[in-house]
Amino acid sequence: MDAKIAPAALDARLPAVGRVAAPAPQSDQLTIAGAEAKTEIAAAAPSPKLLIEIDKASGRFINTLLDADGNKVIRQYPSDAQLAYSRAVTAYLKAMSIK
């Protein structure tokens, strides 16, 4: 069996046909392009708001992502169904520990 060859050594053994080295972009160009992209993204849409609460009945944290106005729920974790299940289990465990 052949010994394992490191990728760099294998690459050096291959012929250089069709390889073209692209010039490295200047760091100033990357900085300007990145800043322009961030500015465009920030101007395009206002950022949503994250609301973190604790549900006392289940003892779980609720993460709610609201739109920029704070009126519409974009996403919530855990969902209402998961919270209802957690509340029921917590209530059951409390009832069982009382007896």
Please provide residue 29's backbone torsions phi and psi, each rounded to the nearest 5 degrees: -65, -40
Q: pLDDT > 70: what percent of the chain?
A: 54
Res. 90: pLDDT tops 80:
yes
Dist CA 9 CA 96 (whole Å): 67
Q: What is the pLDDT of residues 49-77, one digit of tens each?
A: 899 999 998 889 999 999 888 789 999 99
Q: What is the pLDDT of residues 3-12, one digit of tens each?
A: 565 555 555 5
- Across the chain, mean pLDDT equals 76
